[in-house]
Structure 1
């Protein structure tokens, strides 16, 4: 009888621990980002970040990691104007967002960047130490932002 009780306690505590880990990874540390957050792109000439025109912003961030920032928005700025004015970001790799942030599909954004259906720009270099903000824009004005490790962490 004590063996069965021990197994039940181990299984129950494992399930509870698993549920807590799941919750903390997907929900606990994320907070919504204010809709009036300033999105900036780095100007090709000056090398300084400049505010861009956007609306319908939805985003999340976390103080536990600088890589947890994700944002979705729309802009009326054309890709032609953006590519002439702002620095293009090579090797942009969108990071997966929690499933409940439905507007951000890292896989679809990544495929679009590979196929040339979207263009990635340097938002801000070293927004946190060793982390860049990357902004991808589609021809229809949809935009996505995330943080990505920069060359400081390349081997």
Structure 2
């Protein structure tokens, strides 16, 4: 009898821990981002190489301090895909990262399929918004747009504990790390 009670207590504790972890990962760490109405959606210009704001509406975003790649945003724009392609830097290796299910305006599978089909185009939003992390902006031909942050080639190497490849900026020093 004592064994059954102990097994039931272990099972209940494991279930509670699982539910708690799920809640923390999917809901707790995310916060809604209040848009400022001007620089929420920026794309890097082909000519200057500088990020500049584009016209947008219906902005929704979430972020988390627990990871630099948890940022997701949705918006709409009246700018045509052709105009955007003519003025802004493409981002060829864009891979939309999934968002929590409750943030239903951002569907990574739909965005990825549209990028592959050519009905959407990804652009460099802001290079190295944080070291090794680029902000990516994708716009579909129907005017819907999406933003996420993605690890770039420099970040992939440095975050693996290796030296920065040629052409990458010097990584920031981490406290407790020898020069």
- Which category of TM-score, normalised to the shorter sequence, fits these structures? over 0.9
Q: In the alignment, does 2:29 pair up with 1:57? A: no
Deviation of 1:81 after TM superposition, in Å, equals: 1.2
The one-character-per-residue Cα deviations of 1:24-82 (angstroms, maximum 9, x if unpaired) are 00000100011326211001111110011101001100111110000000001111111
The one-character-per-residue Cα deviations of 1:70-112 (angstroms, maximum 9, x if unpaired) are 0000001111111111100011000000000010000010011
SS at 1:68 equivalent:
coil
Taking the aligned partners of 2:81 and 2:117, their CA distance within structure 1 comes to 15
SS at 2:69 equivalent:
helix
Taking the aligned partners of 2:111 and 2:46, their CA distance within structure 1 comes to 23
Deviation of 1:139 after TM superposition, in Å, equals: 1.3
Deviation of 1:122 after TM superposition, in Å, equals: 0.3
Taking the aligned partners of 1:154 and 1:35, their CA distance within structure 2 comes to 29
> Which of the two has greater helix per residue?
1
The one-character-per-residue Cα deviations of 1:102-134 (angstroms, maximum 9, x if unpaired) are 100000100110111100000000111110000
Alignment: residue pair count: 155
What's 1:140 paired with? Answer: 142
What is the TM-score with the length of structure 1 in the denominator? 0.97
User: 1:1-155 counterparts in 2 under 5 A?
Assistant: 1-36=1-36, 38=39, 39-154=41-156
Deviation of 1:153 after TM superposition, in Å, equals: 3.3
What is the TM-score with the length of structure 2 in the denominator? 0.84
| Unaligned residue ranges in structure 2 (runs of 5+) | 158-179
Higher relative contact order (CA 8 A, sep 6+): 1
What's 2:171 paired with? Answer: none
Taking the aligned partners of 2:34 and 2:77, their CA distance within structure 1 comes to 17
Taking the aligned partners of 2:58 and 2:115, their CA distance within structure 1 comes to 22
